[in-house]
Structure 1
Amino acid sequence: MALTTQLLHAQYNTDGAYKKPLKEVLTTIEQRFGVKIKYADSLVAGKYVAYAEWRYRNDVETTLSNVLAPLDMKVKKEKDKVYKLSNYEYYRWLPEEGWAELDRIAAQYHNLAEWEQRKQILKADLWKAIQLSPLPAAPNSKPIVTDIRTFNGYTVQNIAIEILPGLFINGSLYKPVNYIGKIPVILNPDGHWEKQRYRPDCQYRCAALAKMGAMAFSYDLFAWGESQLQFKLEDHRRSLSLTIQALGSIRILDYLLSLKDADTNRVAITGGSGAGSHTVLMTALDNRIKVSAPVVAISSYFYGGCPCESGMPIHDCGGRTDNVEIAAMAAPRPQLLVSDGGDWTDKTPEHDFPYLQKMYGLYGKTNLVENVHLPNEKHDFGINKRIAVYHFMAKYLQLNLNAITNANGNIDESGITIEKETALYVFGDKGEKLPSHAIKGFDNLEKVFKAAITKQ
């Protein structure tokens, strides 16, 4: 045996586990099977494969599974002989597994009476799972508001609402410049995208809905945006984030529906990605919401990769449920699912949407659930997804689509002003206006929340 080989074996056998660096093992697999495995060096750094030589088989798929499964990692085949490495996602199933689970769930009810009974069980369990049954008392404080800014056909005003003592949820309220009487209310929670609700697509959407005749409220995820004046970004990935976000939407709706110009019979919610999951959950929980449009979110084989979507045991409710059954709880209220070919909604039209049509059919309202599928698009809230939402909201909230339509009959967002991020802050450019009694740090939030639910 050559000296170099002896030294290598000495290195790998110090603990008797025949270890090799993962990066070296992946290189061997590439050479042995003539494939390419894509990954960032940071993903494999410091990782070793025990008994590496014994994990190889005669086919690449089995070999990769043997190597990666113990490391909680996996590969996705992008094209012939090209794979992409990632951490294993237990909340992402194979479509066939998700479909089988949805079929198992659906086999529990066969008619409207059985479904209504199931829905009541699910709803009660969901409230308990998120620890908001009963709701904690709301602070006796008024919202903090900024001056109104006027643009082409709409206005914007930033608002912070105290949802627990010292805990604020922040957002911006978009309204039409001119209107008579009561107007619809549309909640616009934010999803897990860079630049939070300050992104152009958020501003376009809310301003367009306002120009069409609604009041649209855009607001932060927990521990995102201005919420980071009170918490760290990593606090968002704690289970309580799901509860705080649900409570935030309830308090926002309480406030908006108390306004004299709010039409309590025309209330909607739309959000994309994680906010799409939130859209479905809030519609299931709160009957005040009459119309919903989850975007690039809902799938029977994806349970949400963030604690704000699945940190609380909502999927344990009713002896196990999934996001599609929770979406069915909206029936027979109008609901639009927007899906695409570049994420976990890629097969929505094949199994999940037919299930929802069947559930709406129990009410004789199959026409009230719609799916706009964009097979060539990816995971975002781009213009075609917004157009689908505009048309749906106009249809069911009696909004004026002509307000954002050009002479050629196309949706036109060019008259909307994209503001700089700081313009959408409630508490000043550097947080200098944050109230002195505002809590800071997740430990303090847990204390405040515990005290609030103990008083019930």
Structure 2
Amino acid sequence: MRYLFPALLPALLIVLAFTETGFTQPVESSSTPGDRLIAEYFRGETRKLEERTFADIETLEDWNRRRPEYRRQLLEMLGLDPMPPKTPLEPVVTGTLEESGVIVERLHFQSMPGLYVTANLYRPNEQQGKLPAILYVCGHGGERHDGKSLGNKTHYQHHGAWFARNGYVCLTIDTVQLGEIEGIHHGTYREKMWWWNNRGYSSAGVEAFNCIRSLDYLQSRAEVDGDRIGVTGRSGGGAYSWWIAAIDQRITAAVPVAGITNLKNHVVDGCVEGHCDCMYMVNTYRWDYPMVAALVAPRPLLISNSDKDRIFPLDGVVDVYAKVQKIYDLYDARDKLGLQITEGPHKDTQELRIAAFRWMNRFLREDQSLIETAAKPLFEKRDLKVFDSLPQDQRVTTIHESFIAKAEPRDLDWESPEAVHSLIERLRELTFRGWPDSPEPLDVTSVAAKEIPDARVIEFNSQSPFRLPVYVLQPNRGADAHVDVVVLDDAGWKQWGPALAVFFPDHVGDVKPDRQLAETLRQTTANRNTAYIVPRGVGPTRWTDDERTQTHLRRRFMLLGQTLAGMQVYDVYRAVQALRQTPRLEAAPVSITAAGDAAVWGLYASLFVDRIDALNLEQLPERNRDAPDLLNVSRIVEIEDVMKAARTRLVGK
């Protein structure tokens, strides 16, 4: 059933933008060759994930057979597989207020020891029997008084008050970032905590777990009918509504408001630039977002949004709705799926509220009467604050350090081929899952340098649209002559690019040639064959230098179930394959030389390439936390053990 509510009344409240103000920007808005390549890449990869969504689902039996695994995957991508233990909640009510027939309790509980959730619980002052309950999850509407956070629960108090005035119990919980104890949502967005990707951590996972424990708390309350619980919230709260409704069957009905759109909007159209990390699971299994919505089926679900929302655009919202219809139709439950679109920007409008209220009344109370009371705040915001002083044992501000357990160096027999093979398989499953399932032909070509007989450029297809060069200096043309593969990152390109520009003027653009450096390079490689590899984003395919844009390009990779570094590892792997399809280099023993970021790329690539006889790695980070981000790698292995495993595979060890 499709719901389109007309504008009824002026908006009562204008809330803060979801995270950052400013326009989102499609990645193709830049114009350098590297910018155009990365824009084309994101379009192509996004299209692949769109096309495979529900592609193998034809019957309800198909869906029911796969659904448990899909749910497990989502839990894993939120950092909830295995599920953290459910420790005692230790709830404490610090005070109560009453106004206009509504009692509100100021309370806190601990979803895990030290992970405090501050909340307000709204209920009618008179009650007969158990009532349906609402978990209201808040968007990014921060409130402060005297320099202290009041929690975003106070910003959204009008929702809780309306539900209590109309016969519900409503628990409104603070978020990690904008609660009374202020944690972090912006790890990759603003704080340069790229190690979150290594750890497989997103602040979305903590929000999802806090929602699970909130349901535990609601079901512990004598006033609540634990079989009738709905969830709603807008913006960030819309996202958390999706997580909890998808993973927890205790949610009877859900109304996520301005909390979801499709992958294309985020990756191609640039909406990622308007969202912090709490919007996203770590997309290991490479989902488009209709898959999250489908896990709510066949329970009542109203997808609600406004038509001029720049960070949840209309076309993407409608696309999610249209695709999830397929799953609701398999259940013959189209009447439990709704789409409500109203006029307006990204705001908490009256029209959006009315739709949510009516949906909950319909499915939690079997009441379809008109809404006659407006949602309005009843209390002073500062009076809803839970803590007079913050607890000393809180872990909210540091939960990102411990929520996902990390691997430690292990005392394994890394001389064992079985142990190394197991590690490689695990990395391929969880870290490099975003590599192509069916690599395209390398299509290797070789072009000799015009004036230097022992130099040539090899070009190959790594992954469309990236056709990459390998710059080869080959003074020794023996059939089994050794090749030193030098992997260049940005620093390496700045060091040697000017020399390569002398040897290969037609293949190295935008670099000023340095003949003195070229002569130095020629002398240092006079007795050995050397191949310089430049992965995507380096040298000829480098994209913008703008720091903010680079941040959001890296975040786009994660939304595709990849990281930039992970795909650069793939480029190194493919480059070595290309060398081995080149005449007089097919059987050459190969060593890998690299420093800094490139050392990490070369190290991991060596696990997937046979017949490497030496690794010459400098400035290799001592731990994953300081290395380029590789999805989930810190759940699996520390870099110390990767080095041990790589040495085991060396031909010349």
Q: TM-score, normalised by structure 1?
A: 0.69
Which position in structure 2 is the counterpart of 1:267?
229
Q: Aligned pair 1:287/2:287, yes or no?
A: no
Written as runs of structure 1 = structure 2, the 5 A alignment for 1:65-76 is 65-66=30-31, 70=35
* Distance of 2:117 and 2:103 partners within structure 1: 20
Written as runs of structure 1 = structure 2, the 5 A alignment for 1:16-415 is 65-66=30-31, 70=35, 101-140=49-88, 142-195=90-143, 197-198=152-153, 202-228=156-182, 231=183, 239-300=201-262, 301-303=264-266, 305-310=275-280, 312-313=281-282, 315-317=283-285, 320-343=286-309, 344-347=312-315, 350-374=318-342, 376-398=343-365, 411-413=372-374
Q: Which amino acid aligns with 1:307?
A: D
Q: Which amino acid aligns with 1:221?
A: T
Q: Deviations over 1:247-274 (max 9, x none)?
A: 1111111111111221121111111112
* Distance of 1:332 and 1:222 partners within structure 2: 30
* Distance of 2:88 and 2:81 partners within structure 1: 20
Secondary structure of 1:299's counterpart equals coil
Pairwise CA distance, 1:119: 1.8
Q: Deviations over 1:143-176 (max 9, x none)?
A: 1212221111211111111122222011111111
* Distance of 2:94 and 2:325 partners within structure 1: 44
Q: Deviations over 1:204-228 (max 9, x none)?
A: 2111111111111111111212022
Report the CA distance shift for 1:69/1:397 in structure 2 as closer, same or farther (over 3 A).
farther
- Note if contact 1:220-1:227 (Cα within 8 Å) is conserved in structure 2: no
- Note if contact 2:107-2:120 (Cα within 8 Å) is conserved in structure 1: yes
* Distance of 2:251 and 2:88 partners within structure 1: 24
Report the CA distance shift for 1:184/1:63 in structure 2 as closer, same or farther (over 3 A).
closer
- Note if contact 1:439-1:445 (Cα within 8 Å) is conserved in structure 2: no
Q: Deviations over 1:334-380 (max 9, x none)?
A: 00011221122412575332222222110111110001111x31112
Secondary structure of 1:175's counterpart equals strand
Q: Which amino acid aligns with 1:334?
A: P
Report the CA distance shift for 1:233/1:297 in structure 2 as closer, same or farther (over 3 A).
closer
Which position in structure 2 is the counterpart of 1:421?
381
Q: Deviations over 1:417-445 (max 9, x none)?
A: 442332121112xxx2x333224742x76
Q: Which amino acid aligns with 2:240?
A: H
* Distance of 2:185 and 2:72 partners within structure 1: 31
* Distance of 1:384 and 1:359 partners within structure 2: 28
Any runs of at least 4 consecutive aligned residues in structure 1 with deviations exceeding 6 A, and if so which? 96-100, 399-402
Which position in structure 2 is the counterpart of 1:78?
none
- Note if contact 2:89-2:217 (Cα within 8 Å) is conserved in structure 1: no
* Distance of 2:57 and 2:278 partners within structure 1: 29
Report the CA distance shift for 1:134/1:351 in structure 2 as closer, same or farther (over 3 A).
closer
Report the CA distance shift for 1:193/1:435 in structure 2 as closer, same or farther (over 3 A).
closer
Q: Which amino acid aligns with 2:103?
A: T
* Distance of 1:63 and 1:126 partners within structure 2: 30
Q: 1:438 aligns with which of 385, 394, 408?
A: 394
Secondary structure of 2:382's counterpart equals helix
* Distance of 1:175 and 1:290 partners within structure 2: 19
* Distance of 1:383 and 1:245 partners within structure 2: 26
Q: Which amino acid aligns with 1:325?
A: M
- Note if contact 2:106-2:120 (Cα within 8 Å) is conserved in structure 1: yes
Report the CA distance shift for 1:337/1:68 in structure 2 as closer, same or farther (over 3 A).
farther
Q: Deviations over 1:234-259 (max 9, x none)?
A: 56966442221111111111111111
Cα RMSD (Å) of the superposition?
3.4
Q: Deviations over 1:9-45 (max 9, x none)?
A: xxxxxxxxxxxxxxxxxxxxxxxxxxxxxxxxx99xx
Report the CA distance shift for 1:126/1:266 in structure 2 as closer, same or farther (over 3 A).
same
Once the two structures are overlaid, the 10-residue window that deviates more, 97-106 or 382-391, is: 97-106
Which position in structure 1 is the counterpart of 2:425?
none
Structure 2: segments with no counterpart, 5+ residues: 1-20, 144-150, 190-195, 267-271, 407-634, 636-653
Q: How many residues align?
A: 356
Report the CA distance shift for 1:388/1:177 in structure 2 as closer, same or farther (over 3 A).
same
Pairwise CA distance, 1:233: 7.0
* Distance of 1:264 and 1:62 partners within structure 2: 46
* Distance of 1:346 and 1:283 partners within structure 2: 22
Structure 1: segments with no counterpart, 5+ residues: 1-41, 44-60, 74-87, 403-408
- Note if contact 2:91-2:109 (Cα within 8 Å) is conserved in structure 1: yes
Q: Which amino acid aligns with 1:383?
A: Q
Once the two structures are overlaid, the 10-residue window that deviates more, 380-389 or 392-401, is: 392-401
Pairwise CA distance, 1:134: 2.8
Higher share of residues assigned helix = 1
- Note if contact 1:160-1:426 (Cα within 8 Å) is conserved in structure 2: yes
- Note if contact 1:213-1:400 (Cα within 8 Å) is conserved in structure 2: no
Q: Which amino acid aligns with 1:326?
A: V
- Note if contact 1:236-1:308 (Cα within 8 Å) is conserved in structure 2: no
- Note if contact 1:161-1:170 (Cα within 8 Å) is conserved in structure 2: yes
Report the CA distance shift for 1:72/1:146 in structure 2 as closer, same or farther (over 3 A).
farther
Pairwise CA distance, 1:177: 1.6
Q: Which amino acid aligns with 1:391?
A: R
* Distance of 1:63 and 1:337 partners within structure 2: 29
Report the CA distance shift for 1:68/1:270 in structure 2 as closer, same or farther (over 3 A).
farther
- Note if contact 2:30-2:36 (Cα within 8 Å) is conserved in structure 1: no
Q: Which amino acid aligns with 1:220?
A: D
- Note if contact 1:268-1:291 (Cα within 8 Å) is conserved in structure 2: yes
Report the CA distance shift for 1:384/1:130 in structure 2 as closer, same or farther (over 3 A).
same
Report the CA distance shift for 1:294/1:68 in structure 2 as closer, same or farther (over 3 A).
farther
Which position in structure 1 is the counterpart of 2:443?
none
* Distance of 1:99 and 1:299 partners within structure 2: 15
Report the CA distance shift for 1:435/1:194 in structure 2 as closer, same or farther (over 3 A).
closer
Secondary structure of 1:226's counterpart equals coil
